[in-house]
């Protein structure tokens, strides 16, 4: 069975600074997908970024980028130039290539301070 671990229950960062959220996972699959979802106080889960395991290049989306280390089974999220609107719960998630079940980590609450 696949597992996803987020070891940082809460983090805080000053506005405009950079923060990195950690995620590790365990799987015996060779191809799969990894996701970071954001859930602000408004409750709606929003996809931040997606990584396909067979792609070597780390995914980036504007201020958001990942450090994907397949051998280490690590998938961290870096947020640059943090903004107050980045305050949210962030979930790391795993899905097998042909599955549609998302396995979520426990989440990290990120607070951006002014």
Partner 1 sequence: DTEVTQTPKHLVMGMTNKKSLKCEQHMGHRAMYWYKQKAKKPPELMFVYSYEKLSINESVPSRFSPECPNSSLLNLHLHALQPEDSALYLCASSPSRGAKNIQYFGAGTRLSVL
Residues forming contacts to partner 1 in the complex (CB under 8 A) are 32-33, 35, 37, 42-47, 50, 52, 89, 91, 95-102, 104-107, 109
**Between 32 and 68, whose beta carbon lies closer to partner 1?**
32
> At closest approach, how far in Å is the CB of 16 from partner 1?
27
The residues, any chain, with a CB within 8 Å of residue 110's CB and separated by 6 or more, are 10, 11, 12, 13, 19, 21, 79, 86, 87, 88, 89, 90
**Between 17 and 55, whose beta carbon lies closer to partner 1?**
55
**Between 50 and 63, whose beta carbon lies closer to partner 1?**
50
What are φ and ψ of residue 84, in 5° steps? -55, -35
**Assigned token pair, 35:** 């996701």
> At closest approach, how far in Å is the CB of 63 from partner 1?
19
How many angstroms separate the CA atoms of 28 and 59, rounded?
A: 22
**DSSP tally for the chain: helices H, then strands E:** 0, 12
> At closest approach, how far in Å is the CB of 84 from partner 1?
20
Residue 49's nearest CA partner among 36, 68, 38 is 36
> At closest approach, how far in Å is the CB of 59 from partner 1?
13
């Amino acid at each position: 069975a696949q597992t996803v671990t987020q070891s940082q229950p809460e983090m805080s960062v000053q506005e405009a600074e950079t923060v990195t959220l950690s995620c590790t996972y365990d799987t015996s699959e060779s191809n799969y997908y990894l996701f970071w979802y954001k859930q602000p106080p408004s409750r709606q889960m929003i996809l931040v970024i997606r990584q396909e395991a067979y792609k070597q290049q780390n995914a980036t989306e504007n201020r958001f980028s990942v450090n994907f280390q397949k051998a280490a089974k690590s998938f961290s999220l870096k947020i640059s130039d943090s903004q107050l609107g980045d305050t949210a719960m962030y979930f790391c998630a795993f899905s097998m290539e042909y599955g549609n079940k998302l396995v979520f980590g426990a989440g990290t609450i990120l607070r951006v301070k002014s």
